[in-house]
């Protein structure tokens, strides 16, 4: 496929082949692009190559699109954001990649990261941010191919990225009238685009913020259910019955608090959002983090049987 800027997209490299990067690489390959993989964990790379036919590559000089799916948490603390690994990769790309290729950041990143990467690669390549809404438990409907937000460092970055992800997007001046969302194209190895519906935004920071605020919103919903649970414990109210009653209303959906705000993404991304403002910080999220700590402490004490009247209702 010839992009607006005149290069042909054939070779796609997915960097970071973990929980997210592997399904991305499999999807790109299934769409018919020549797909390569790169992971600093050589054992992981070997497994992916053997089991899924994603070819390993060390040199980046002949790649048309780089998709970055590396982890963005501190290796020693999964709740703390960490983008040094991404910057290191950007330096390797800056040294080796050809002019005009596309760097698509699919990892979750703090506001301002994409533009820093654009600086590191000396404005030589297009940079876009296309964060994920991937959900392991519902991969069929909430996998790689669902509506996603896309932003570019500049207009030509956005357009180049849209041509790769969603060639029929109305934000592009020209539209391919053929129905390229037909996945049977991939079987014929005539890759055109990824066929993923995109919601373009005017500033790349909006794309960065969208992802972390989505997860902050989820954090808040869980923390509210924890708050209610603690209220019920303190006031001898059956939480389960209260929740069921509340959820009979059409616009109320109280979640289950379970083990506390879980996984590493929600705490890490909420931290990214809180750290993104030097002045006004979300007071409600700061309180939500405190509620989650109280809830976890409560569960620990209950586990140690130090709270005799706990109602077992979640
Ligand atoms: N897993 C999800 O459900 C999910 C959903 C949405 C967004 N995300 C985001 O996607 C990103 C990746 O998450 P994940 O769950 O796949 O993480 P993961 O830990 O499962 O996988 C990350 C992979 O990247 C590799 N890696 C890390 N740094 C590297 C580097 N500098 N060079 C090469 N390889 C490197 C690791 O070896 C690992 O295989 C994170 O930013 C995360 O927040 C994840």
Tell the residue nearest (CA) to atom 25 of ligand 1. Answer: 16
Atom index in ligand 1 nearest the CA of residue 131 equals 7
Q: What is the pLDDT of residues 246-265, one digit of tens each?
A: 999 999 999 999 999 988 89
Rounded distance from Cα 302 to ligand 1 centre (Å): 34
Q: Which domain-ending residue is among 144, 170, 202?
A: 202
Average pLDDT over residues 141-149: 97
Q: What CATH code is carried by the domain that includes residue 259?
A: 1.10.1040.10
Which of 13, 16, 46, 76 maximizes ligand 1 atoms within 8 Å of its Cβ, making it the mutation to test the pocket? Answer: 16
Which of 69, 70, 83 maximizes ligand 1 atoms within 8 Å of its Cβ, making it the mutation to test the pocket? Answer: 70
Atom index in ligand 1 nearest the CA of residue 265 equals 43
Tell the residue nearest (CA) to atom 2 of ligand 1. Answer: 20
Two tokens, residue 163: 């041509």
Q: How far apart are CA 303 and CA 268, in angstroms?
A: 26
Q: What is the pLDDT of residues 156-176, one digit of tens each?
A: 999 999 999 999 999 997 655
Rounded distance from Cα 106 to ligand 1 centre (Å): 9
- The answer to whether residue 161 sits within a structural domain is yes
Least confident range of 136-140, 200-204, 211-215, 246-250: 136-140
Q: Which domain-ending residue is among 172, 202, 232?
A: 202
- The answer to whether residue 217 sits within a structural domain is yes
Rounded distance from Cα 31 to ligand 1 centre (Å): 22
The number of folded domains in the chain is 2
> Residue 8's pLDDT band (boundaries 50, 70, 90)?
confident
Q: What CATH code is carried by the domain that includes residue 57?
A: 3.40.50.720
Q: Are residues 214 and 198 in the same domain?
A: no
Q: The domain containing residue 198 runs over which residues?
A: 11-202
Atom index in ligand 1 nearest the CA of residue 269 equals 43
What percent of the chain is modeled with pLDDT above 70? Answer: 89
Q: Are residues 28 and 177 in the same domain?
A: yes
Atom index in ligand 1 nearest the CA of residue 133 equals 6
Q: Are residues 194 and 232 in the same domain?
A: no
Q: Are residues 226 and 193 in the same domain?
A: no
The predicted structure's pLDDT at residue 312: 31
Q: Are residues 62 and 36 in the same domain?
A: yes
Which of 14, 26, 71 maximizes ligand 1 atoms within 8 Å of its Cβ, making it the mutation to test the pocket? Answer: 71
Tell the residue nearest (CA) to atom 34 of ligand 1. Answer: 39
> Residue 4's pLDDT band (boundaries 50, 70, 90)?
low
- Ligand 1 is surrounded, with C-beta below 6 A, by 15-21, 38-41, 44, 69-72, 85, 88-89, 107-108, 132, 134, 136, 265
> Residue 307's pLDDT band (boundaries 50, 70, 90)?
low
Q: Are residues 38 and 60 in the same domain?
A: yes
Burial category of 124 from C-beta neighbours within 10 Å (exposed 0-12, middle 13-18, buried 19 and up)? middle
CA-to-CA separations, 288 to 95, 226, 260, 295, in angstroms, rounded: 43, 9, 11, 10
Q: Which domain-ending residue is among 148, 173, 202?
A: 202
Q: Are residues 49 and 189 in the same domain?
A: yes
The predicted structure's pLDDT at residue 73: 96
- The answer to whether residue 3 sits within a structural domain is no
Q: Are residues 159 and 242 in the same domain?
A: no
Q: What is the pLDDT of residues 264-294, one digit of tens each?
A: 899 999 999 999 998 999 999 999 999 999 9
Q: Are residues 243 and 158 in the same domain?
A: no
- The answer to whether residue 266 sits within a structural domain is yes
Q: Are residues 86 and 217 in the same domain?
A: no
- The answer to whether residue 293 sits within a structural domain is yes
The predicted structure's pLDDT at residue 121: 97
Q: Cα Rg for the chain, rounded, in angstroms? A: 22
Q: Are residues 287 and 156 in the same domain?
A: no
Structural element, H or E, at residue 13: strand 11-15
Rounded distance from Cα 11 to ligand 1 centre (Å): 21
The predicted structure's pLDDT at residue 311: 34
- The answer to whether residue 240 sits within a structural domain is yes
State the chain's mean pLDDT as an integer: 91
The predicted structure's pLDDT at residue 174: 60
- The answer to whether residue 26 sits within a structural domain is yes
Q: Are residues 102 and 137 in the same domain?
A: yes
The closest alpha carbon to 68, from 33, 99, 102, 111, belongs to: 102
- The answer to whether residue 6 sits within a structural domain is no
Atom index in ligand 1 nearest the CA of residue 88 equals 31
Tell the residue nearest (CA) to atom 38 of ligand 1. Answer: 18
Q: How far apart are CA 154 and CA 26, in angstroms?
A: 29
């Amino acid at each position: 496929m010839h992009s607006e800027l005149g290069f042909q997209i054939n070779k796609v490299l997915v960097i970071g082949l973990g929980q997210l990067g592997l399904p991305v690489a499999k999807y790109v390959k299934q769409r018919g692009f020549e797909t390569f993989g790169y992971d600093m964990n050589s054992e992981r790379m070997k497994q992916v190559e053997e089991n899924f036919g994603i070819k390993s590559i060390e040199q980046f000089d002949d790649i048309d699109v780089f998709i970055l799916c590396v982890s963005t948490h501190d290796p020693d603390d999964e709740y703390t954001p960490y983008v040094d690994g991404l910057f290191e990769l950007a330096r390797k790309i800056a040294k080796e990649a050809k002019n005009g290729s596309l760097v698509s950041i699919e990892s979750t990143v703090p506001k301002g990261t994409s533009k820093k990467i654009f600086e590191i690669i000396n404005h030589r390549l297009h940079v876009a941010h296309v964060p994920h809404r991937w959900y392991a438990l519902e991969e069929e409907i909430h996998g790689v191919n669902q509506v996603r937000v896309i932003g570019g460092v500049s207009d030509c970055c956005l357009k180049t990225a849209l041509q790769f992800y969603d060639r029929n997007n109305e934000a592009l001046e020209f539209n391919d009238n053929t129905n390229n969302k037909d996945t049977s194209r991939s079987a014929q190895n005539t890759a055109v685009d990824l066929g993923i519906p995109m919601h373009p935004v005017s500033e790349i920071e909006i794309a960065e913020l969208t992802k972390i605020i989505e997860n902050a919103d989820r954090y808040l919903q869980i923390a509210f259910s924890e708050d209610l649970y603690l209220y019920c414990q303190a006031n001898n109210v059956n939480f389960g019955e209260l929740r069921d009653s509340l959820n009979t209303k059409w616009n109320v959906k109280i979640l289950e608090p379970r083990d506390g705000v879980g996984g590493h993404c929600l705490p890490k991304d909420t931290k990214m959002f809180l750290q993104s403002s030097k002045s006004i910080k979300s007071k409600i999220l700061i309180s939500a983090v405190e509620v989650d700590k109280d809830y976890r402490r409560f569960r620990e004490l209950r586990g140690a049987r130090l709270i005799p009247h706990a109602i077992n209702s979640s």
